[in-house]
Amino acid sequence: MTSRYQHLCRVLAEKFQVDPHLLRPETTLAQLELDSLAIVELTMTLQDDWQVDLDDIVTPADMTLAGLLATAEAAPPTEP
């Protein structure tokens, strides 16, 4: 498990009160019962924490945690 994946799980558990037992790479955001506003907030949080540019990224509810992580890892760094 990467440190970014662990961070993603921590954010979901602490900020969005998701049960940590539900957090698996294949779990979708919809399965975590995150609505569209929560998904935007999660994306913005990860963008700030990881300093990557996720502004133009579409994050559908059927995206898995592994997919979200892969998308963030492929994103360019934010400009200072």
Whether residue 1 has pLDDT greater than 70: no
Q: What is the mean pLDDT of residues 35-62?
A: 94
pTM: predicted TM-score of the whole model, two decimal places: 0.91
Candidate CATH numbers 1.10.3720.10, 3.40.50.2000, 3.30.460.90, 1.10.1200.10; the one for domain 3-74: 1.10.1200.10
Of 42, 74, 7, 57, the residue nearest 32 (C-alpha): 42
When pLDDT is cut at 50, 70 and 90, the band that residue 2 belongs to is confident
pLDDT per residue as tens digits for the range 58-73? 899 999 999 999 999 9
Please state, as a whole number, how many other Cβ atoms lie within 10 Å of the Cβ of residue 45.
17
pLDDT for position 55 = 87
Instruction: Rounding to the nearest 10 degrees, give the CA dihedral for residues 27, 68, 37, 46.
Output: 120
Mean pLDDT calculated for residue range 7-26? 97
Cα separation of 1 and 78, whole Å? 24
